Amino acid sequence: MSWLTAEQALNLLGTKSQTLYANVSRGRIRAKPDPSDTRRSLYFTDDVKRLAARNAGRRRTEAVAADAIQWGDPVLPSALSTVAQGRLFYRGQDAAKLADHATLEEIALLLWDMRRPLRRPEGQGGNGRPPALTAAFCALAERASTDLPSLGRSLPALQTEAESVLGTVANALAPGLPHLPLHQRLAAAWNRPDADELIRRSLVLFADHELNASTFTARITASAGATLSAAALSGLSTLTGPLHGGAWQGVRSLIARAAAIGAEEAVRSYLAEGRPIPAVGHPLYPDGDARARALLACFTLPPLFAEVRGVAEELVGERVNVDFALTAMTSAYHLPQDAPLIMFALARTVGWLAHAMEQSTSGRLIRPRARYVGPPVE
């Protein structure tokens, strides 16, 4: 997360202070009080840069495109989800409000634009096998080489296949009785029935998040006409990175340090080493991750997590995000250590398939150009 002083913002914009304040009042630039001096304000860097680029009109096309790839403006149209006014929306509906009552299966209906009931993914019964990411990788890889390519197929045909692919992932990540909804299957597999409602809420909140890294990867795969299972597999591979679905491990490391030396000393040591505090702040939510708020309101943080949250938010000036909330929930309900990634992967499979179908039916190949910076061409 990055914020600018008024002087820095004015330097980038090349305008008078009155113009800066007008842009804030019109919602074009987000602002917050400066923690070091509440009489002053800080201005969200991305908003200032975006407005400066739009007003200047002098930047080369390739420079604008390069910025767009890194937390910039959308690089392709999608009707599935967006973050607007600090909230996450699925096809125009507030995801946090949907999480109050919906299941992941119902979100699949919404994101996939289904006009018929979703067939419940088939389970393999109570075989005692725990949820395993490796099993999901293997099952998707096996399908990817035998399923039909997505190119040239109708949306109803792709929707039917998406149900099957979701079932394949569910058998690996939420093995259990087929008559149960996925959140109950997962709670039962972990022998934590008391956590089933929070698992349900988490699955809904994680189902999609516009063009994040794994979703963009899945869309690129689908744009080449690959199978839906291949698109889901590419998304799953990207999800495992520590800057994406693997962020929970950074939270665990911070909590472990806090347990050893105290919360404040742990946070201060990260900052003194020039390391970002794991799971604090989010570029799309300058006022706080709406998904984290929706989760944190539903359970009591373990004492050490609560202490780390308080210190981190005070010293960094940003709020904890959903990766922190999910890791804290895992600890509070004594779920397996890899539970955050399991829930993330199961939920986001719905989003990957939605984006893959949207991209496939568009008939467009995603193929950016590179800005060559190598040795001179002879």
Q: Which position among 46, 147, 323, 355 bears the catalytic label? A: 323
Active site residue 209: no
Of 38, 39, 41, 54, nearest to 9 (Cα)?
A: 41
Which of 53-67, 124-138, 190-204, 240-254 has the largest mean confidence?
190-204
Pairing relation of β-strands 3-4 and 87-90?
unpaired
Which of 14-18, 58-62, 169-173, 273-277 has the largest mean confidence?
169-173
Q: Which position among 34, 67, 113, 244 bears the catalytic label? A: 244
Of 277, 274, 307, 325, nearest to 96 (Cα)?
A: 325
Asked whether the predicted pLDDT for residue 77 surpasses 80, the reply is: yes
Which of 10-19, 89-98, 115-124, 362-371 has the largest mean confidence?
89-98
Residue 199: C-alpha distances to residues 184, 227, 309, 313 (Å): 8, 29, 21, 25
Number of H helices, E strands in the chain: 18, 6
For the chain, domains (ranges, CATH) are 3-69 (1.10.1660), 83-378 (1.10.580.10)
Residue 363 CA to residue 73 CA, distance in Å, equals 22
Active site residue 289: no
Contact (Cβ atoms closer than 8 angstroms) between residue 61 and residue 53:
no
Active site residue 183: no
Asked whether the predicted pLDDT for residue 124 surpasses 60, the reply is: no
Residue 88 CA to residue 127 CA, distance in Å, equals 37
Contact (Cβ atoms closer than 8 angstroms) between residue 248 and residue 326:
yes
Q: Is the overall model pTM greater than 0.85, yes or no?
A: no
Q: Which position among 147, 282, 289, 355 bears the catalytic label? A: 282
* Banded pLDDT at 58 (limits 50, 70, 90): very low
Q: What count of other Cβ atoms lies within 10 Å of the Cβ of residue 63?
A: 12
Residue 267 CA to residue 262 CA, distance in Å, equals 9
pLDDT at residue 122, as a whole number: 57
Pairing relation of β-strands 81-84 and 31-34?
unpaired
Q: What is the tens place of the pLDDT at every residue in 209-244?
A: 999 999 999 999 999 999 999 999 999 999 999 888
